[in-house]
A and B are shown apart, each in its own frame.
Chain A
Amino acid sequence: MTTATQTPVFPTFEQVFQGFAAQIGQLREMAPPPTMPEERRLRRAVDTLIEETNADEAVWLESCIHCGQCTTACHYFQATGEARYAPMRKMDLYRRVYQREISPLRWWYKLITRPVKLSDFEDAQELVYDSCSECGRCTMVCPMGIDTASLVHHMRSAMVAAELVPPELAALRMEQKTMGTVFGSSPEALKKMVDIIRQHYGVDIPLDKEKADVMVLSSAVDLVANGNGLLATAKVMNHLRVDWTICSDGFESANFGLLSGDMELWAKQVDPIVAAARRIGAKTLVIAECGHAYPALRWNPMLRSGGLPFEMMYMSEYLGKQAKLGNLRLRPLEGRITYHDPCKTGRRGGAFDEPRALFEAMDADFVEMPANKEYNWCCGGGAGIFLLERATRLRDESFKIKLRQVNETGAEAVVVSCASCRLNFEAGRQKNHWDKRVDSLVELVADHLIDTEAPAGEHEPTAVDKPVPVEEVAA
């Protein structure tokens, strides 16, 4: 390790956020317009719900007793107090379709209830996209244990069939469907980023090894905007001295099939990753800090992962396990911190212990938020909501709950482990002039690594005057 300070090449996350916000703003114009006649769109939406409804969904739809407790747990309702944001409302349209098409009394319902129209789906768009991050917190309090998030997911699937995906998500879905990538990331962008990291930081990323034990994923956010993320990942993997690689034909964590509700695209995005991992004989697949990638891969119900030759783990999970095994040599962490479990890896993913093992390994002054682990409040930006301009007020207002939660801990910084959460926290930090730091878990760990010898392949850093602009990195 040289003693020369490394001049940062990559933008700070504050800058990342601002650049990203500008890019997101352009997405609305890129949204594909509806192509099918209304009748057909309605029919496809209804048919989708019929196809995706099993006994589980039917039971949940039957079970709601309008007790109102779900409103206690939902950040969007708590932030606005508006009746339509009550989680129970999200299943109203789904229930109507279920009653008329699937329920045992459907002949009666068809007789006495009014038919479902496309405008009903249009009205429901806000409820299943803008104001539901599928965080599952309502399920924690519901006396009937209704899994609202699953029902919302099926509604999103119907919205895809009806060409009613909100513009930003629709644009990204189309981009990923046709090009396999988003935000202009690509195997070329990956290669370029790997080169920059080697040249400017002397950190080697083994790209496209024929065989490797550990296959690591990246994400569009890291490749296109937050180079520090990939850099930190590489530092940590090299520190661990594991046989790892990134495959340029299966590196993208982000899954806009899952985010938009497009089940087909979800599967299509997963296939190349699984194929690549098989090909290189990986034993472990490590998912980048991209929250929804965890359910997209690890908890993908369409993929028989028990039969795969490799285990899939989230970044925080992998690092935490390594910390427990004593493989990470870490400097102590200064200052009090708290941790925000991403909904998709915490409550909806089950990876609570590993991130905390890292804080222990860093001897951190770690304080849990008042509501933590499976009770953690959602940051409000997940499930693609961070991308929706229409949902800005909802995001901003519900984020204030996180502000209060973090403030109550007395921590100087909140550690997050999901790009969406991080972007949302950063947005909130800037808008509220918040005095707390927002740190990424992998970047935090990378900053506290103790390297006793120079890792292979490091060179003298090249001095640069200014950070490399985001656009140039993405080009």
Chain B
Amino acid sequence: MANESTLGDLLQSQGISRRAFLKFCSTTATLMALPAGVAPAMAETLAGARRPSVIWLSFQECTGCTEALTRSHAPTIEALLFNFISLDYHHTLQAASGEAAEHAREQAQHDNEGKYLVLVDGAVPMVEHYSTIAGISNLQMLKEAAAGAAAIINVGTCSAYGGIPMAHPNPTKAVPVSDIVTDKPIINIPGCPPIPLAITGVIAQYLTLGTLPEVDKLGRPVAFFGENIHDRCYRRPFYDRGLFAETFDDEGARKGWCLYKLGCKAPVSYNACAHVKWNNGVSFPIQSGHGCIGCSEPRFWDASGIYQSVAKGQFGDGAKLGAAAVAGAAIGAGAALLARRKKSRLDTEDHATQ
């Protein structure tokens, strides 16, 4: 937790030059698809920003979203920004625990009523006893925190869409946050985990402009999730030319050909992985040789197999088709036999009357 009173103070104390900070702001503004002129205003506002109160709720999650944000080889502006927010409550990161921690949360909620941000990672089990904190169920805690929140930001696919806890057979009856909270603005920043810049970009916009970014019909910021990964993928020319890796160590894989046949879900996935990439632009799954698993999409885990290409049908095995063929043949043959009986009956009647 930072002690400096403004963000500008914090950054200065960490040796971040004004120039670097301006660069960060204009990058963020661009990524957020905000007008270019906003960058200086953003910088000034951010520099003088007071620490906003943020309550971070972690429910059925793996902590990967927090890790993505905090783990870095070198301190990044994103990390510093993250540090700057008055993270009044975070299970993993906070020093306090037990009653003291809960008391801190309740205090923050009370003091900043209507103004604090709630960031959520992890899904919410409807069978409440599967996940509790200090005896309070996730569902209960969410409802309380959401009551006085200015907005909810779902970090990661689990809170945004239910994610892996919600995957079949879903024994905990996990649901996304938006199933529970329906009366507050919600932004989804999905991904498993999401790209850190997406998270900080949304927060940055909120801090500077007081608004939440434009979202698509799945509640995701269009700036980061408006484009198909397939359209930005550097391996697209190989897809177009019909050059595919068939297995993970064949000639195509080694030559970096398209991973469509190995189950890459990029054509139906929307995220910034292919151009913003991960670890400060080092790489992303496809570049590392593994197909996109579509982790920013709802129900990505159940929708299809990781290594099953987009084109493959999703309906179990073909035994039912065999059964259908047999059933059809039987009914058809039966219909024909009945027709034959009718015909011979008419034949007999006809001959009888002669």
Contact = CB atoms under 8 A, between A and B. Distances in A.
Task: Establish whether A and B are touching in the complex (CB under 8 Å).
Answer: yes
Interface of A: 47, 50-51, 53, 101-106
A54 to B, nearest CB: 9
Majority-rule SS of B interface residues: helix
A50 B336 CA distance: 12
B335 A51 contact: no
B346 A51 contact: yes
A50 B343 contact: yes
B185 interface: no
B249 interface: no
B347 interface: yes
Nearest to A47: B346
Contacts of B335: 103-106
Contacts of A105: 335
Contact of A51 (B331, B332, B336, B350): B350
A105 B335 CA distance: 8
B43 to A, nearest CB: 71
Interface residues of B, number: 10
Given A53-B343, A102-B339, A47 B332 contact: no
Contact of A47 (B331, B336, B339, B350): B350
A265 to B, nearest CB: 13
Interface in B332-354: 332, 335-336, 339, 342-343, 346-347, 350
Interface of B: 331-332, 335-336, 339, 342-343, 346-347, 350
Contact of B347 (A51, A101, A106): A51
Given A47-B346, A53-B343, A106-B339, 17 more contacts: A47-B350, A50-B342, A50-B343, A50-B346, A51-B343, A51-B346, A51-B347, A51-B350, A101-B339, A101-B342, A103-B335, A104-B331, A104-B335, A104-B336, A104-B339, A105-B335, A106-B335
B350 A104 contact: no
Most buried by A among B339, B342, B346, B350: B339
A162 to B, nearest CB: 15
A105 B336 CA distance: 10
A53 B342 CA distance: 11
Contacts of B339: 101-102, 104, 106
10 contacts: A50-B343, A51-B343, A51-B346, A51-B350, A102-B342, A103-B335, A104-B331, A104-B332, A104-B336, A105-B335
Contacts of A50: 342-343, 346
A473 B232 CA distance: 98
A426 B350 CA distance: 42
A53 B340 CA distance: 10
Contacts of A102: 339, 342-343
A284 to B, nearest CB: 33
Q: Closest 9 interchain pairs by CB? A: A104-B335, A102-B339, A104-B332, A51-B346, A47-B346, A51-B347, A50-B346, A50-B343, A51-B343
